[in-house]
Structure 1
Amino acid sequence: MDGEYGLKRHFNGDAARLLGGMIREFHPGFDVDGYASEVEGRIPGKELKDRVLVLAEGLRGRLPQDYNEALVILVALLGDELAEGEGMFNNGWYLMPVARFVEEYGLKTPAESLDALVEITRRHTAEYAVRPFIEQWYDLTMPRLAEFACHPSHNVRRLASEGTRPRLPWARTLTRFVHDPDPVLRILDTLHDDPSDYVRKSVANNLNDISRDNPEIALAAARRWLLASSGPGTSWTVKHGLRTLVKKGNQEALEILGVTGGEHVKVARFDVSPRSVILGDFVTIRVDLRNTDQKTHTVAVDYVVHHVRKGGRSIPKVFKLTTLELAGGERRTVEKIHPIREVQTRRYYPGEHVIDIQVNGLVLASDRFDLDL
């Protein structure tokens, strides 16, 4: 499923019938038709999270009113655990209202709810549902999350990281971790070299979140992890986790990743073609780089598109071009085709779009293209 828009379309009356049919196997009196009809009538005009809430509210009105009794029924229908590489929003998407049910109605019985979230996250995810428990039952929840970080299941270990991300997309910011990320880092210290790619990606995204508000703390964690483990797992986690700082040209982040000597690299030629495009076209970015030093340097090369916004102002967006090793005196040509198409988080407006080439965070050249819608 492609993003929030692609996912939201699946939460409708058919989803209610699917989930309701599964519930009826464990709760024979469940009104599947009434549930589907209510959902279908309430979802028009609603976005993803509000649609999921409609399904959760429909469950609350049709399951036993005792929350723990209802929870036993919902946990019973969960099915097999997702294996590594099985997407939570593909294979287990229909369980999103079950997690939302716990999020909305489980705060009065946190111990039982956290136990249920362990089972839910093994089949879907509980990264959103666990956050109110962090906020309202911090002293109870954080030790449980530390336990989750050592769990045999990669899905549960991921929850320890993903659920504590300060700036998790589609979720409310955990401001306590924005101000003090140390409790999160104590969990991530256990997971940065996890054998699961799924877990390490979450750790990297969490570190990237931390770096936006606390770059020095994130950099110190990256150094600590690399000292503790020099394996490829930790190296990948650190590289991905520092990506925002690298794009901003943070020299310490670049140095941690072994990227140095950008001041010795010159742009012999840079051009963007064609000069005029319409929405849906592509532009080709071509840059000739030259190492003016006699020593070999590894450099990170990015390009920055200054997207024109409504009213004529522009907003820069950094894109990765390449990381390459240039021998002393070497000259290298790098090329990239960049699509001019709208995505969920970006709209295009007509006008002159500037593209910068930056090496190790230093802008070395600029060119431009005109967009006509």
Structure 2
Amino acid sequence: MGNYYSMSELFKDIYNQAFYQQFADVVNNVIEGFSTDSFINKIFDESFDGMELKARMAHTSSVLHYFLDDDFDVATKQIIAIIDALESKGLSEQSIEYMFFPHYIEQFGLDEYESAVVAFERITQFTSCEFAVRPFLVKYPEPMLAQMTAWTKHTHPSVRRLASEGSRPRLPWAMALPAYKANPTPLLPILTTLRDDNDEVVRRSVANNLNDIAKDNPDFVVNFAQQYSGESVNTDKLIKHACRTLLKQGHPAILSFYGLSYEHLSVDNLVVECDALHIGESLAFKFDVTNHDVKSRKIRLEYAIHYRKKNGQLAPKVFKISERDYAASCTRH
């Protein structure tokens, strides 16, 4: 089994006839009384073609609900049995097509906390649950956060990642978590436990969580960096990635932390090689950078492009050019 779409197709078209047919064939061997023909007919109803990705995902979980047991706890066990069967067919982990499984838990299990938590722990080892777990953090803040903290000790990296990724205050394309935007302190046990995890994907999630936090609580991230810097190569890399927004903002404490300063530095002879651009064209520019200090120093170069928003205002987006050592009295072109 594998992916049933080409890169040229729309992302929503991961949900296509071939995918559903092979999925239904697997489910047919797991769920007693399941009808492949009925499932396919319900999937491809008159509204299917007009659905975008998330709508098709939700639609799939709703159709699946029709065939699973009415008892949510039993239904989650059926889902896990389906996942076991899919894995036995050689399907790789973290297949985005199957994110309708966690959506099912969110849609039909929000009032079934204990069964939902057990299901999340297994499902996220197959397809990521960071979107679906967030309504549970809102409805059950203390027990859900305690459970996610416990997951930081799990043997499977995808479960450990869920602890961090699912609790990100500003996870893209997901509902925000206002409580942690206001006060991220409850997330500290998760972040500190996973800061030197042996899996790079888990560590990157921690960095992204901290970067989210930096947008509302920069001092929290500055303190984290100061406390854990130097522990290991991996932790230092995580901290640097976590501080990327603060670095782009020129946050004074982070610039100082990394030994970066505007002093004894000049940028001269800036040349922009065209006055106007059309979408899709490239902009070339050049300049000289001089370190006037009497000692070698690290210099981080960035540039900003201001994009016009719908309201007519300009908003800058910062891009990194380089970060390197400059010798005393050195000029680079």
- The answer to whether the superposition gives a TM-score over 0.5 is yes
Question: Match for residue 22 of structure 1?
Answer: 26
Instruction: Give the SS at the match of 1:267.
Output: strand
Root mean square deviation of aligned Cα:
2.5
Report whether the alignment pairs 1:8 with 2:12: yes
Question: Match for residue 113 of structure 1?
Answer: 116
Identity across the alignment (%): 30
Alpha-carbon contact 2:266-2:291 (below 8 Å) kept: yes
Question: Match for residue 323 of structure 1?
Answer: 323
Unaligned runs of 5+ in 2: none
Q: Distance in 2 between matches of 1:185 and 1:2?
A: 41
- Indicate which of 45, 53, 56 corresponds to 1:51: 56
Cα gap change, 1:287 to 1:18, in 2 (>3 Å): farther
Question: Match for residue 202 of structure 2?
Answer: 199
Unaligned runs of 5+ in 1: 334-373
Report whether the alignment pairs 1:166 with 2:169: yes
Cα gap change, 1:264 to 1:143, in 2 (>3 Å): same
The equivalences for 1:1-373 within 5 A come to: 6-41=10-45, 42-79=47-84, 92-226=95-229, 229-256=230-257, 258-309=258-309, 313-333=313-333
Cα gap change, 1:193 to 1:75, in 2 (>3 Å): same
Alpha-carbon contact 1:185-1:221 (below 8 Å) kept: no
Instruction: Give how far 1:280 is off.
Output: 2.1
Instruction: Give how far 1:48 is off.
Output: 2.4
Instruction: Give how far 1:310 is off.
Output: 5.3
Instruction: Give how far 1:218 is off.
Output: 1.7
Q: Distance in 1 between matches of 2:158 and 2:6?
A: 21
Instruction: Give how far 1:282 is off.
Output: 1.6
The structure with the greater share of residues assigned to helix is: 2
Alpha-carbon contact 2:303-2:320 (below 8 Å) kept: yes
Q: TM-score, normalised by structure 2?
A: 0.90
Cα gap change, 1:273 to 1:31, in 2 (>3 Å): farther
Cα gap change, 1:33 to 1:320, in 2 (>3 Å): farther
Q: Distance in 2 between matches of 1:76 and 1:163?
A: 24
Q: Distance in 2 between matches of 1:239 and 1:81?
A: 39
Q: Distance in 1 between matches of 2:184 and 2:92?
A: 28
Task: Count matched residues.
Answer: 324
Instruction: Give how far 1:308 is off.
Output: 3.4
| Structure with higher RCO (Cα < 8 A, 6+ apart) | 1
Instruction: Give how far 1:57 is off.
Output: 0.5
Instruction: Give the SS at the match of 2:238.
Output: helix
Q: Distance in 1 between matches of 2:296 and 2:86?
A: 48
Instruction: Give the SS at the match of 1:262.
Output: coil
Cα gap change, 1:187 to 1:312, in 2 (>3 Å): closer
Partner deviation per Cα, 1:129-171 (whole Å, 9 max, x = no partner)? 1111111122321121111111111111101000000111111
Instruction: Give how far 1:81 is off.
Output: 11
Instruction: Give how far 1:31 is off.
Output: 2.4
The structure with the greater share of residues assigned to strand is: 1
Q: Distance in 2 between matches of 1:81 and 1:270?
A: 58
Instruction: Give how far 1:277 is off.
Output: 3.5
Query: Which letter maps to 1:138?
Result: P
Cα gap change, 1:241 to 1:293, in 2 (>3 Å): same
Q: Distance in 2 between matches of 1:60 and 1:200?
A: 35
Q: Distance in 1 between matches of 2:270 and 2:224?
A: 37
